[in-house]
Amino acid sequence: MKRLINLTPSKPVKLLLGILPFAMILVIYLIASDARLAENPNDKLLPSFSQMGDAIKTLAFEPSKRTGEYLFWQDTLSSLERLGLGILIAAALGFSIGILTGAIPTLHAPFAPLLTIISLVPPMALLPILFIVFGLGEVSKVALIVIGVAPFIARDIQRCTQEIPLEQLVKAQTLGASSWQILLRVLIPQLLPRLINAVRLSLGAGWLFLIAAEAIASTDGLGYRIFLVRRYLSMDVILPYVAWITLLAFVIDWLLAKLSQRCFPWHYQHGK
């Protein structure tokens, strides 16, 4: 039946439709940038692509006169280290709490409400407290990512644990499995791909907390550089940095998706 909801585009059409919005944004930016620069060549709001290329070339391929470092790559490395460490700790913490509170009723009763309340606390409001407790070093930045992401992962894993059919747990117990064996051999294998999905969904928040922490108290990092140059209205640096952060986030998400598909092919056999 010919209905809009029944029309499925072919692969080439899908690819074209996927590229089209990006091309439109690019064209709109080029037209607006050319118009502003034609009116005022010193305009900084919408720099041309050549101006952005020159700025990034200086940061990426010319050592800093003050530190001797290649600032673009140093900023990228510092931010990825903080994000990676924060997400790794949050994933381990959230997975452990989520599976224990989801699988063991005596832990669910006291800790599930507490976890719900903690997940509703805005992490950015805790940033001053983290700076007071942990100082202005790396620990406070990583802690902000952990506090912001771990509760989300824990609640998601808790929900996924409770969605596992009860028949599987009964069957395992019928075969003589202990609680520890059920956790280790029934629940954890099924929840690992869902952990990767939860990490993928929380990456955006992780980047947000990282940029915020670096903007307030840091001497390097992608967020630090963006907020450092904003006082000079250096959009030729800010826009490429934002695009670079977006590209990094996309690549990390893609790698996690491929890792999940490679390690847990059975999870995707029914279009999950």
| Domain assignment of residue 2, yes or no | no
| Domain assignment of residue 177, yes or no | yes
Indicate the pLDDT class of residue 270, thresholds 50, 70 and 90.
low
| Domain assignment of residue 132, yes or no | yes
Clarify whether residues 79 and 154 are in a common domain.
yes
Between the CA of residue 162 and those of 65, 200, 205, what are the distances in Å? Answer: 57, 21, 25
**What is the domain extent for residue 37?**
11-43
Distance of CA 136 to the CA centre of its chain: 23
Residue 245's nearest CA partner among 205, 199, 211 is 211
Indicate the pLDDT class of residue 271, thresholds 50, 70 and 90.
low
Clarify whether residues 200 and 111 are in a common domain.
yes
Question: Which CATH number does the domain housing residue 218 bear?
Answer: 1.10.3720.10
Clarify whether residues 101 and 147 are in a common domain.
yes
Clarify whether residues 178 and 236 are in a common domain.
yes
Residue 239 has pLDDT above 90, yes or no: yes
Handedness of CA 127, 128, 134, 135 (dihedral sign): positive
Clarify whether residues 194 and 233 are in a common domain.
yes
Number of structural domains (the chain) is 2
| Domain assignment of residue 222, yes or no | yes
Task: Give the C-alpha separation, 129 to 143, whole Å.
Answer: 11
Clarify whether residues 213 and 114 are in a common domain.
yes
Instruction: Please write the tens of the pLDDT for every residue from 34-52.
Output: 999 988 888 888 898 899 9
The reported pLDDT for the residue numbered 210 is 92
| Domain assignment of residue 232, yes or no | yes
Taking residues 239-266, report their average pLDDT: 93
| Domain assignment of residue 31, yes or no | yes
3 state DSSP class of 19: helix
Token look-up 């990512």 returns: 145
